[in-house]
Structure 1
Amino acid sequence: MTDSAFATDAFIQSKITLWMRELGSVKRLAPKTLEAYGRDLSQFMSFLAGHLGGPVSLESLRDLRGADIRAFMARRREESLGSRSLARVLSALKSFFAFLEREGVLTTEALNAIRTPKIPRSLPKALTVIEARQTIEATDELEDRPWVAARDMAVISLCYGAGLRISEALALTKGDLESDVLRVTGKGGKVRMVPLIAPVRQAIDTYLSLSPFKLWAEDPLFRGVRGGVLSPRLIQLRMQQLRSALGLPPSATPHALRHSFATHLLGKGGDLRAIQELLGHASLSTTQIYTAVDTEHLLESYARAHPRG
């Protein structure tokens, strides 16, 4: 039972349960996002119960003021919650109250007066083309078992050569491979088709030819040494070994390879909309950050190469 169950009356708790169900089955939020939203609302209700001196009721929410929400946000800020997390908290509260309005339960203006915390813009740390290529090519030098080396090379190749998140790569089944096109299930269960360039397809085929496990269409593509689903931690550890061997910065992670995929495509004149589709971004604004990354790399190269740089 969540903390909100003790901080709210039965009616409000029933609405929280229905809201969470809608987020999972209709809105199809990712499991971690769903968990975070539930936690955020639970903490708000617990704060409000203490703030008001009793369990939160429908009447309590009708009387909610902007000052109550600001007090909660200030408390979370005092607990060292960052701007990005605070923005998520506010998003969770708005989602819940929008749900109550759709249900015809109540309407409140309290949230309209709250500004979303300003989130500092952070640029992805992309590897250079040479660093990305060295990372893939050096994989088999760190592993004595050929099939394990081929497996890790295939996963890393998918992160850089197809722009997959590590979770997407490890969720692939053999049936997701369709000739030179890969069926990828991304965040929120959204499916996209990603073309496989020849080196990536070859890396996967090499792994499949060496794998000791017989794989059917519905089976996970990448296996651990005992036959279970491959843990992302093992690929992260492999990247850690590669960073040490190649002298790469700590920012060289599996996700950095995905960033590198987008940055290098854009640098070669790739269409931003096409890159959005390949990455599985719901919004073009998420993809547009790579225009800043590419400009940053261009300026760095100019400063290094120009005689007066």
Structure 2
Amino acid sequence: MTDDPWGGLLSPAMAEALDRWLLTEAATRDRSIHTVTAYRADLLAFLHFLALHWGESVPPSGLARLRQTDMRAFAASERTRGLGARSLARRMSGVRSFLRWTADREGLDVSAALSTRSPKYTRSLPRPLTPLQAQDTLDRVADHGTPWVGARDLAVLTLLWGSGLRISEALALEGTDWPFPEGLVIRGKGGRERQVPVLDVARQAVARYLDLCPWGHQADRPLFRGIRGGRLTAGAVEAAMRQARAALGLPASATPHALRHSFATHLLSAGGDLRTIQELLGHASLSTTQVYTGVDNAQLMAVYHAAHPRG
């Protein structure tokens, strides 16, 4: 059962309901462990606030008392604590999902609470690297004092830029995944599977890394290995990227994830359609992929303003 970090403010019935909802989300909606953990924190924050706000622990049936004023008070409290608009919108979304589930289960009317508007926020655009910046970054990462480490980092980052993998997806690859087929099956967020193309340059980069790697290729071990032979961590790849961007004078936004953004943006610039890019990235919703049209338009306007400066 969910622990109550606030000393008894969460009623046993509410703790049980929260556990059941989280299990339902994980089982029926393929939520990742990270999403479930975030939802748990969001709901505990909300239920803790509600107990203090009303002066008593709240059973599931008590949620029928919720009004817009309660939801607004919670939102104001979170903003006062320093929660940003985007994080608050995510938190409120989780609360609404839990309220809808509880209402169906308990036969409650929570329409007053659900009618509260979500906080508005401006979605920041991804900041991809240009093709030249991406290539320079890969060249710099490969130039490492320990050749097999440089070859390894180059192989990982080539998969991010050339196939649009998330860093977690690249590092989750096993020895049994090699040699890569033309279409590599990737299990991404929420357990969703997709097939991504593997360019020859990426295949060659992985082959060279395995030739140099002290442990070689072992089918029963992770494909990408750390210094001591265990699975390579995201922190090690991020450190390599930090060193490369410092040497090249690139902004802090030049992270491993920026190479995935670059994959999408460069495809779009080359005439790729959004549906195909959505499938390659493994986005559940097209609206998530559509943010790259904003990136492309922003780059276009930057070129326009550079060519036609105002007097």
TMscore range, shorter length: over 0.9
Give 2:251's aligned residue. Answer: 249
The answer to which of 104-113 and 260-269 deviates more is 104-113
8 Å CA contact 1:3–1:46 kept in 2: the answer is: no
Establish whether residue 36 from structure 1 lines up as the match of residue 17 from structure 2: no
The 8 Å contact of residues 147 and 212 in structure 2, kept in 1 or not, is answered as yes
Alpha-carbon separation, structure 1, partners of 2:68 and 2:301: 45
What is the percent sequence identity of the aligned residues? 47
Q: Hey, what's the Cα distance between the residues in 2 that align with 1:217 and 1:197? A: 22
Aligned partner letter, 1:10: P
Contact 1:8 1:45 in 2 (8 A): yes
Aligned 8 A contact 1:222 1:230 in 2: yes
Query: What letter corresponds to residue 298 of structure 1 in structure 2?
Result: L
CA distance in 2, matches of 1:200, 1:280: 19
Q: What is the CA deviation profile of residues 7-36 of structure 1, one whole-angstrom value per residue up to 9, with x for unaligned ones?
A: 232222211111111122322212222111
Please name the residue that 2:172 is paired with.
171
Task: Tell me: CA distance 1:34–1:4, structure 2 relative to 1, closer, same or farther (3 Å).
Answer: farther
- Say whether residues 1:148 and 2:167 are aligned partners: no
Q: What amino acid maps onto 2:187 in structure 1?
A: T
Partner-residue secondary structure (3-state), 1:125: coil
Amino acid at match of 1:34: V
- When normalised by structure 1's length, the TM-score is 0.94
1:92 pairs with 91, 94, 100, which one? 94
CA deviations 1:145-200 (Å, max 9, x no partner) are 22111100001101111111111111111333442222212111211110101111
Correspondence for 2:135 among 128, 133, 136: 133
How do residues 54-69 of structure 1 correspond to structure 2 at under 5 angstroms? 54-69=56-71
Which residue pairs with 2:288 in the alignment?
286
Assess if the C-alpha contact under 8 Å between 2:60 and 2:102 holds in 1.
no
Change (3 A) 1:306 1:53: closer
Matched residues in 2 for 1:171 and 1:158: separation? 12
Contact 2:175–2:220 at 8 Å: present in 1 too? yes
**Is the aligned partner of 1:124 residue 2:126?**
yes
1:49: which partner in 2?
Answer: 51
Unpaired runs of 5+ in structure 2? Answer: none
State which drifts further: 24-33 or 193-202.
Answer: 24-33
Between 177-186 and 287-296, report the one with greater CA deviation.
177-186
Alignment partner for residue 74 of structure 1, among 69, 76, 90? 76
Corresponding pairs, count? 308
Give me the TM-score of the superposition, normalised by structure 2. 0.93
- Please say which of residues 63-72 and 169-178 is displaced more in the overlay: 169-178
Q: 1:181 to 1:4 in 2, by over 3 A?
A: farther
Q: Aligned-pair distance for 1:58?
A: 3.5
SS in 2 for 1:259: helix
Separation of aligned partners in 1, 2:4 and 2:204: 49
Q: Which amino acid aligns with 1:101?
A: A
Residue 67 of structure 1, CA deviation: 1.2
Structure 1 residue identity aligned to 2:146: R
Cα separation, 1, equivalents of 2:5 and 2:107: 22
Q: Deviations over 1:74-124 (max 9, x none)?
A: 111111111111111111111111221332442311222210111212111
In the alignment, the residues of structure 2 paired with residue 78 and residue 116 of structure 1 have an alpha-carbon distance, to the nearest angstrom, of 16
The residue type paired with residue 9 of structure 1 is: S
The structure-2 alpha-carbon separation of the partners of 1:62 and 1:299, relative to structure 1 and needing over 3 Å to count, comes to closer
